[in-house]
Structure 1
């Protein structure tokens, strides 16, 4: 029994030697090397209670802590309807602790020392979303003889973001990060981040840009409470914008090419099979682009305008195919066009400004045999009667209809591009 008791005491003694911070800090330093730094460290941590908040002054029961936030990177994540971001920051905290004051002359002129942040009081500031506390790196707290403490902390909270999908792929997102003082520090900890100098205590100089998202702006809002304007929380708003180069090639470039394909059909001969083939390719491309957008677009409350653009453009392409079918049938019609239709076409063709606008030739309807010496007047009249019954009697009407529809749809596409895409 005596041997077991002796071994147990030796084990406890070894644990205290290896982990001196277990339990209360011991003031006995006989077994430690007697260097000036160790003497000072033993003096400062003797009977030090790190669970008790540091006081800036003995008279005022308030701890004033100031932070300088350095933004390292933002990782934006799209999980279906959930939009989140991981904010990686480095925070430099400074405060005064009257329990860590000493006279440098009593300790070989030492004016500063490094202490383990796990053995002294550190600000209990956390982020609201996951209630994630700061992680103060070991051995990174520098204390001066005046009680001025400087510590560095890293944090990577996952925060919720609000997506603005209306202008996709030029859309953006706003990520909100709340930082509050935890536990009893809500009443005692003054974060010392005034509204006037909030921006000066935040830096994004070392920010590592994201391949898909661009950081536009960071807004900082200090939420104070009470008559003494103590800070209870700090609001960070990170405003991001999507880098649209990749999506611009995939979706915006076809949005500019498809109107050209649709409008080009009005310059193809209605009787040619090529016109119907172009219309079929145009419709198929619209359907393919809409399906691709359905896979690529993130879900959200807003409907992107590019979806509405492709929808309207596909309706225009469908109407163009219907016009192609009707004009192809009319081009093979052997009868005469209605009198009002023929008169309207002739009137438009006879006006110089309308010819320039519609790009049609004049209304010269003279016989192709007229003026030839080897042809008799009877043959010219017979040719005229044959022309009246010719299937090409609809040619001028179809030609003018194509030009009018071309100008109409060119105007429609110009409005759609300005409203939906640009």
Structure 2
């Protein structure tokens, strides 16, 4: 390229003489469609708002086409091989983002420069910021993966006028700047088939879960195991009911926090984490009820006898826990003795046989009930949390 600004001014003035930017290029509209090559280069993922279903990115939009009205001979115009116009001075494809989150406006700025080559090739490089609608699937939150599709159409034109071509389905991510919250899994583009005209960009994202695991998942799992420690507190402390209520409220706070950062939708389904928290709230309610019910054993009058079926269960549980404990103790007036002629080693083999000589009191009934509840809720917590982690990480 040679010449100077004066020569380029003369060239631009000559090219725009009689030029109408409202008319799209083409020498024969009936026989040859105007071919427009499009590509997109992603530079950054700005935000992905799950609550608002809004997805915002920045990138460079490259569009190339041929305008026969803007051709010239370099030798005639001082060896100039290319020049620049403003977007509003020549015809440019009226692209719009059809699934825009905000208003649907034409892409581009009227003062944006457009490069023109002497053979009529127009190169339109347009840096832009796109905000589209993208419904979030938070089923496996925080290990979720999102797929967003941006639809770009040439507004006002049909396949009888122009043809949109995508040179390559894969896009080069070299210019992409890493996002602190999302990992770019893949990005591709495609052109629509008849009768639809335009092209689309598919972006697949995966959330970086470490922050959410440390701040939500781990505390939730820890609280579920702390919850059953209420059965290890001494009944005389008077803190059992208060402890169980406190843990219940803590899990409810976690649930309310999760619901504020997730979309209020059931399609395709709610987050599995919400189901886990609801299950843990139900477990906490049962633990609180069992705590209140178990304290009644400790507060029974000492003169009230223990029913024989409760004594059998209690002595059986105690003997299974400690088979060597088969000595006969003095029988207080507030206890029931269950006699057995079986050996201590046969206690757990046949629940219908008599158990070893054992003194059963209401306090022992309460301790056995606490042990059974602790083991039961420990197993349920392990099963629920393990199932959630396996499904979420699968």
TM-score normalised per structure 2: 0.77
Distance in 2 between the 1:128 and 1:281 partners? 50
Whether the 8 Å CA contact 2:87–2:112 is kept in 1: the answer is yes
Distance 1:393 1:76, change over 3 A: same
Matched, 1:363 2:361: no
- Note the alpha carbon deviations across 1:310-361, whole angstroms, 9 max, x for none: 22212222222222222222134324433233334434444xxx43xxxx46
Matched, 1:166 2:149: no
CA displacement at 1:304 relative to structure 2 = 2.7
Distance in 1 between the 2:5 and 2:183 partners? 54
Correspondence list, 1:21-420, <5 A: 35-55=6-26, 60-76=31-47, 78=49, 82-129=52-99, 130-136=103-109, 138=111, 140-184=113-157, 186-193=159-166, 197-199=168-170, 202-225=171-194, 232-301=197-266, 302-333=269-300, 334=302, 335-350=304-319, 354-355=320-321, 360=322, 362-367=324-329, 384-386=330-332, 389=335, 393-420=361-388
Query: What residue number does 2:350 align with?
Result: none
Whether the 8 Å CA contact 1:331–1:392 is kept in 2: the answer is no
Distance 1:75 1:300, change over 3 A: farther
CA displacement at 1:146 relative to structure 2 = 2.3
Give secondary structure in 2 for the equivalent of 1:36.
helix
Distance in 2 between the 1:255 and 1:246 partners? 14
RMSD: 3.3
Whether the 8 Å CA contact 1:83–1:161 is kept in 2: the answer is yes
Distance 1:337 1:362, change over 3 A: farther
Distance in 1 between the 2:6 and 2:252 partners? 79
Aligned residues: 358
Q: Which runs of 5+ in 2 are unaligned?
A: 337-358
- Note the alpha carbon deviations across 1:131-182, whole angstroms, 9 max, x for none: 3212157463222222222121233343211121333344454433211122
Q: Over alpha carbons, which structure has the higher Rg?
A: 1
Whether the 8 Å CA contact 1:104–1:145 is kept in 2: the answer is yes
Q: Which moved more, 1:256-265 or 1:235-244?
A: 235-244
Distance in 1 between the 2:148 and 2:5 partners? 52
CA displacement at 1:260 relative to structure 2 = 1.8
Distance in 2 between the 1:204 and 1:57 partners? 38
- Note the alpha carbon deviations across 1:32-76, whole angstroms, 9 max, x for none: x99433343333333222222223889943211112212233444
Query: What residue number does 2:347 align with?
Result: none
| Higher-helix-fraction structure | 1
Distance in 2 between the 1:287 and 1:139 partners? 53
Give secondary structure in 1 for the equivalent of 2:361.
helix
CA displacement at 1:224 relative to structure 2 = 1.3
Distance in 2 between the 1:290 and 1:89 partners? 37
Give secondary structure in 2 for the equivalent of 1:238.
strand
Distance 1:133 1:192, change over 3 A: same
CA displacement at 1:248 relative to structure 2 = 3.5
Q: Which runs of 5+ in 1 are unaligned?
A: 1-32, 368-383
Give secondary structure in 1 for the equivalent of 2:152.
strand
Distance in 2 between the 1:303 and 1:123 partners? 42
Distance 1:293 1:101, change over 3 A: closer
Give secondary structure in 2 for the equivalent of 1:121.
coil
Give secondary structure in 2 for the equivalent of 1:146.
coil
